[in-house]
Chain A
Amino acid sequence: MSFLQVDNLVTRYGAITALQGVSLRVEEGEIVTLIGANGAGKTTLLRTLSGILRPATGAITFRGENITPWQTDRIVRAGIVQSPEGRLVFRGMSVRENLQLGAYTRRDRDEIAKDMGHVFELFPRLKERLNQSAGTLSGGEQQMLAIGRALMSRPKLLMLDEPSLGLAPLLVREIFRIVEEINREGVTVLLVEQNARQALAIAHRGYVLQTGQVVMEDTAAALAQNEVVRKAYLGG
């Protein structure tokens, strides 16, 4: 049994079936990337895995447990957290408060303080802006805060929804470097991206999602070489 196993997941918004039977797996320690065009269902998949959306059918198994019916707080406690699409930081709150909210499901004060220290090691810029309200951060800093906030729950599986969205190439590289670093420290990563080139460069394996279905799965290296993928997602 895989670390995370998703079987035949179907999620609907009213009449729209956004996920039409998605199956995939993530092994412990991997970076797995999920690429796909706008509207493919990437965000819907992450929201379903987080328990924010309820699947119509299908099963999600995490470390041998069927977590499909679980509430989000229980899923976060079990070790799955996502940094949502569009850098949804709490704009009116300070950087510190954002990070504290990341640890919402935890009660171990001393350990939380330690983890906040670690987030500052990864993102020194956040430490300098500790008391600044998150809305005044630059786009890149907000993305760092969103990732740092997710890390505050001490996840085993970190899901990132388009962390490179709207960032300058230099920043994208920095963010991806940090994602690799987080992964080296033992956090498994499910990386949703439209920026397929860079995602495939750091991932071990990848899936291609198209209109709610997995149409391809392979090692990242193989996908990067694949003719169809190159045409559709790597710009030729």
Chain B
Amino acid sequence: MKSAAAHTIHTMISWLLKAVWIAGTILVLLALQPLLQSGAIIDPYWFRILLLMGINVTLAVSLNLINGFCGQFSIAHAGFMAVGAYTSSYFTLHALYTPVRNLSFAQQATWMIGALLVGAVTAGIAGFIVGIPSLRLRGDYLAIATLGFGEIIRVAILNIEEVGGASGLSDIPPLSSFFWIWLIALMTIALSRNLLVSSHGRAVLAVREDEIAAEALGVPTTKYKVIVFAFSSALAGMAGVLAAHLDLSIYPSSFTFLRSIEIIVMVILGGLGSTTGAVLGAALVTLLPEGLRYVPAFTVRGYVVEMQAWRMVIYSLLLIVLMLTRPRGLLGGMEWSWHGLSRIGGRWFRGRPSDRNLPPEEQGEGDLL
């Protein structure tokens, strides 16, 4: 067995590389935090947009796991975000007495990690409970069921006096920051990409491609769907934790199904089933309302029209145009990769023919570039 020792060494090196990557990412984020926050590079307005973008990236990439990779159309993401936001805020509001500014960095980090865990676990459990009955359904039925569950979660929160009812929770400790928001966003991206290349990822994609065929080969399709759904919900819960500890007050009205639809727009805009697409979609949808701010209000027959208020209409139009011109989203299921980059490089230099001569429905699903 020549491969056993080589295999062990290979595994060790890949673990080491991973550790270096993670440590490097943490250091870079830690270094960027004061730099960006100081206003020296970007002003506070854009800094805040960068924070919202990070939260949206986590939401979109995690929703893509279930809607894109697993092929199960869910409209409940805002509900799970709410679960994470509320449980973690309840936790920090009742357990953390010292003002955050008096805490050391290590203490702040411990509380933030605690809050993230509370949010992830409760949202994950909620996802599990919602997933078991709804994932038996398919297509439109699943979409409607999850839409209903998302609203049930919100209405339940609305009616729990303990968490403030309609007036929500406020004075939440400001534990969230650029560092945490983007750490979780990058973690979500990494988890999502690692899932895909694993043998479990292949099974998840098989569920999307053809459920009966997957089932016939012994892939436990329902189990995969429920696990991915719960996992995706847990990540949405973390996004909720980060948003709550950034805005410092939360209301049930922030988590209506319109928020869920906004996240779906991000995923579909970028291209269902592509992590890169989800990131791109999240960035675009975060920037869109900011862009609309610059469109001056105008008057139609005496009605003042502010473009920002028409955000949802613009999303819809955007989606319609996209579906007509690029039905598989901006990236059409493709992923960004170094491999793809080197390939296009090779093609460029050697003038190799591309694989464009595939039938149109078979293009994509490969690497971007």
Q: Mark A95-106, 1 if CB is under 8 A from B, else 0.
A: 001001110110
Closest CB in chain B relative to A148 CB, distance in Å: 12
- From A101, A150, A153, give the contact of B202 (CB < 8 A): A101
The residue in chain B whose Cβ has the minimal distance to the Cβ of A85 is B212
**Contact between chains at B212 and A104 (CB < 8 Å):** no
**Contact between chains at B358 and A52 (CB < 8 Å):** no
CA distance A146 to B361 in the complex (A): 21
The A-contacting residues of B in range 319-364, CB under 8 angstroms, are 358-359, 361-362
- From B202, B213, B359, give the contact of A89 (CB < 8 A): B213
The B-contacting residues of A in range 33-87, CB under 8 angstroms, are 50, 52, 71-77, 81-84
Residues of chain B within 8 A (CB-CB) of A101 are: 202-203, 206, 214, 217, 219
**Contact between chains at A149 and B212 (CB < 8 Å):** no
**Contact between chains at B202 and A133 (CB < 8 Å):** no
> Does B161 sit at the interface, judged by CB under 8 A?
no
**Contact between chains at A92 and B365 (CB < 8 Å):** yes
**Contact between chains at B216 and A77 (CB < 8 Å):** no
Q: Count the A residues whose beta carbon is within 8 Å of the partner chain — how many?
A: 32
> Does B218 sit at the interface, judged by CB under 8 A?
yes
- From A88, A92, A135, A153, give the contact of B213 (CB < 8 A): A88
Interface SS of B by simple majority: helix
CA distance A136 to B361 in the complex (A): 10
**Contact between chains at A97 and B365 (CB < 8 Å):** no
Residues of chain B within 8 A (CB-CB) of A75 are: 218
Q: Mark A2-25, 1 if CB is under 8 A from B, else 0.
A: 000000000000000000000000
CA distance A153 to B218 in the complex (A): 9
CA distance A84 to B209 in the complex (A): 14
By Cβ-Cβ distance, the 9 closest A-B pairs, closest first, are: A76-B218, A88-B213, A73-B218, A90-B209, A105-B218, A88-B210, A84-B216, A92-B365, A52-B215
Please report A residues at the B interface, Cβ cutoff 8 Å: 50, 52, 71-77, 81-84, 88-93, 97, 100-102, 104-105, 133, 135-136, 146, 149-150, 153
